[in-house]
Amino acid sequence: MPIQISIQGENAKQALDELHALSAGLTPKTTEVSYGQDEEQSEKPAPAKRTRKAAPKKEPEPKPETPDAAADDSGDDEGDGPTEDDVKRTVRRYLTTFDNNTEGQKAAQALLLDNFEVKKVGDLSEDQYPTAIRVFESAIDERGE
């Protein structure tokens, strides 16, 4: 049997308030319809729906305004040195200086091989991160970015 519900309000807020008032009285027992099922089957609760939690939004890190401030970001003075993510961010900045992504990736790999004898950033040791950042920042400066 078709059911039609009409909700009216002078504005959207009023219509939503009316909808909320109507739905407040609804419970699973009042909305279930039995078509000859066993009592055991009809009393089982519906499986819980999975919901995804939204990932927290990362705020972009402010870029240093002076070259001296960029040198201070290496973190050598305290115990908080740069991370692998910091190196990857610098490599991505380096890649943006190329028109061709493949050419940029080859150049980045060549820098890693020449300076650290590794093929990818993940193969660097933590003590190599500050040097890697300096190498790529120097390469960015040479390319004119």
Report the sign of the C-alpha dihedral through residues 11, 14, 20, 21, in that order: negative
pLDDT at 19 (0 to 100) = 73
Q: What is the pTM of this model?
A: 0.45
pLDDT at 56 (0 to 100) = 59
pLDDT at 40 (0 to 100) = 53
Q: Per-residue confidence of the chain (145 residues) as pLDDT tens digits?
A: 777 777 777 887 887 777 777 776 666 555 555 555 555 555 556 666 666 665 555 555 555 554 444 444 444 445 578 999 999 999 999 999 998 888 989 999 999 999 999 999 999 999 999 999 999 999 999 887 5
Q: Are 97 and 103 in contact (CB under 8 A)?
A: no
20: amino acid identity, one letter: H
Cα torsion through 107, 110, 114, 115, rounded to 10: 60
d(CA 130, CA 90): 11
Question: Six-digit token pair at 9?
Answer: 């309000």
42: amino acid identity, one letter: S
**Helix, strand, coil % in the chain, rounded to nearest 5:** 55, 0, 45
